[in-house]
Copies of this chain bind each other. A is one copy, B any other.
Amino acid sequence: MSLTAPATHAIDRATCEALDAADPLAGFRERFDLPEGVVYLDGNSLGALPRATAGHVQRVIAEEWGTGLIRSWNDAGWFTKPQALGDRIAPLIGAAAGEVVLGDSTSASLFQVAVAAARLRPERRVIVSERGNFPTDLYVLEAVQELAGGAAPLERRLIDDDGPGLDEVLGDDVAVVVLTHVNYRTGRMYDLADVTRRVHEAGAIMVWDLCHSVGAVPVDLNAAGADFAFGCTYKYLNGGPGSPSFIWVAERHQSAARPAITGWHGHADPFSFDVGYAPAPGVTRFRVGTPQLLSVAALEASLDLWEDVDLAQLREKSLRLTELFISLVDARLAAWGVEVVTPRQSARRGSQVSIRTDRADGYAVVQALIERGVIGDYRAPDLMRFGFTPLYVTHADVWDAVAVLEDVLATEVWREPRFARRGAVT
């Protein structure tokens, strides 16, 4: 995708407003409830509230739960929601109907699929991941190593920006590779098809973490021939705090795959109440227990909105926003030593930009920004992280964010004690 962003020196707020006026996705902003005076650049951590969500959840509470009571398991389709909503997530990740199902927390779903993946290569003893992966992926893989290893734990091999690369760690002892498509810290994006191909050439199984991809960048799992994937729905999909994860299993693996946790919602006939577990056909076997249906309901409302999104337009706007931010940072913040950590090559960039500087405490800077209504976040040891969610972030928002950031740096307001480190924001 080639974009001709305006030359930096020509950008002013009016330019940004003109870009907003021409934005084919501009109408989506009205479908979110955003607080007045806030520039929200943390939708990569928790997506904003779709306007339709509250009413939908309220209806589920009052009508489906309050009035329907137990009957809603059948009458309101509660029992099959994880498959039904999975089918609605599928087009966002290049999956087919019947390949996606909702899970518990993202960490639990990683466990569920990584064990299944390792079981497809029982003779191999190595799991590959990345030192810079989101930590829970590595933590959960420790559990997978120990529990799926049989007589001895599986070995872990980590690729590293400063160490071995993927091709150096791949070998005929590698069972599974688990990588996050878009890195949570840097926003760097892997070439999903290319990495999958190299992993397959080594005879290993490819598991993709799509937490920072779904609803943010184009993903085509089936075109890439990937094996398993999982992701969260509370970032770019705007499903609400802690909304359920999803699991994707390529159709060709579904009949052989054995999930880690064999719960009754993944049983072939859950209401037969048989003593023995028999896996359901297809991806349904990856379900575990009763879904948390109020969180599912909020996700459902947000997926209604996604029905109307043109994914090519989404990516085009995402790149326009991130390039605009990068241009403005380069032009206006270099004086404070601010550098862009996120790849400048658009094909390698997700929908976020991370920056750093040696001349200011990034934590305090982010707190000062938040006080002024520009919400990004901080990731230790030194990254200021800004997510650009094309459905509700405007070009003018980007302009305003950089202007506030420049002021925070120029005035050194971030040095004030109230911005000093105390807690942390997820």
Please determine whether B57 and A294 come into contact, CB atoms closer than 8 angstroms.
yes
Q: Which one of A69-77, A169-177, A333-341, A408-416 is at the B interface?
A: A69-77
Q: Is A148 an interface residue (CB 8 A)?
A: yes
Q: Is A311 an interface residue (CB 8 A)?
A: no
Output the nearest chain B residue to A291 by Cβ-Cβ distance: B242
Residues of B within 8 A of A424 (CB): 74, 271
Output the nearest chain B residue to A67 by Cβ-Cβ distance: B35
Q: Is A419 an interface residue (CB 8 A)?
A: no
- Give min CB distance, A293 to chain B, whole Å: 4
CA gap between A243 and B276 in the complex, in Å: 26
- Give min CB distance, A198 to chain B, whole Å: 23
Q: Is A377 an interface residue (CB 8 A)?
A: yes
CA gap between A135 and B277 in the complex, in Å: 8
CA gap between A273 and B377 in the complex, in Å: 14
- Give min CB distance, A294 to chain B, whole Å: 5
Residues of B within 8 A of A247 (CB): none
Residues of B within 8 A of A270 (CB): 135, 426
Set B35, B135, B271, B275: member contacting A426, Cβ < 8 A: B271
Q: Is A262 an interface residue (CB 8 A)?
A: yes
Asked whether A66 and B42 contact (CB < 8 A) given A139-B262, A150-B151, A293-B295, the answer is no
CA gap between A139 and B267 in the complex, in Å: 9
CA gap between A386 and B267 in the complex, in Å: 25
Within 8 A of B (CB), among A108-131: 108, 111, 115, 131
- Give min CB distance, A228 to chain B, whole Å: 17
Residues of B within 8 A of A66 (CB): 33-35, 48-49, 54
Please determine whether A426 and B79 come into contact, CB atoms closer than 8 angstroms.
yes
Asked whether A136 and B33 contact (CB < 8 A) given A73-B425, A142-B262, the answer is no
Q: Is A65 an interface residue (CB 8 A)?
A: yes
Residues of B within 8 A of A234 (CB): 290
Please determine whether A70 and B45 come into contact, CB atoms closer than 8 angstroms.
yes
Output the nearest chain B residue to A130 by Cβ-Cβ distance: B275
- Give min CB distance, A153 to chain B, whole Å: 10
CA gap between A66 and B55 in the complex, in Å: 13
Residues of B within 8 A of A370 (CB): 71
Residues of B within 8 A of A313 (CB): none
Asked whether A290 and B105 contact (CB < 8 A) given A62-B33, A70-B377, A135-B264, the answer is yes
Please determine whether B57 and A61 come into contact, CB atoms closer than 8 angstroms.
yes
CA gap between A200 and B138 in the complex, in Å: 36
- Give min CB distance, A13 to chain B, whole Å: 24
- Give min CB distance, A338 to chain B, whole Å: 22
Set B46, B261, B425: member contacting A143, Cβ < 8 A: B261
Residues of B within 8 A of A131 (CB): 275
Output the nearest chain B residue to A263 by Cβ-Cβ distance: B107
Output the nearest chain B residue to A153 by Cβ-Cβ distance: B150
Asked whether A263 and B140 contact (CB < 8 A) given A131-B275, A234-B290, A241-B65, the answer is yes
Please determine whether B33 and A138 come into contact, CB atoms closer than 8 angstroms.
no
Please determine whether B70 and A61 come into contact, CB atoms closer than 8 angstroms.
no
Please determine whether B151 and A148 come into contact, CB atoms closer than 8 angstroms.
no
Output the nearest chain B residue to A269 by Cβ-Cβ distance: B424
Please determine whether B73 and A261 come into contact, CB atoms closer than 8 angstroms.
no
Please determine whether A273 and B380 come into contact, CB atoms closer than 8 angstroms.
yes
CA gap between A135 and B271 in the complex, in Å: 9
Interface string of A25-38 (1 = CB under 8 A from B): 00000000111001
Q: Is A58 an interface residue (CB 8 A)?
A: yes
Set B73, B135, B241: member contacting A274, Cβ < 8 A: B135
What 8 pairs between A and B have smallest CB-CB spacing?
Answer: A105-B289, A107-B289, A107-B263, A104-B104, A136-B264, A271-B424, A292-B295, A241-B293
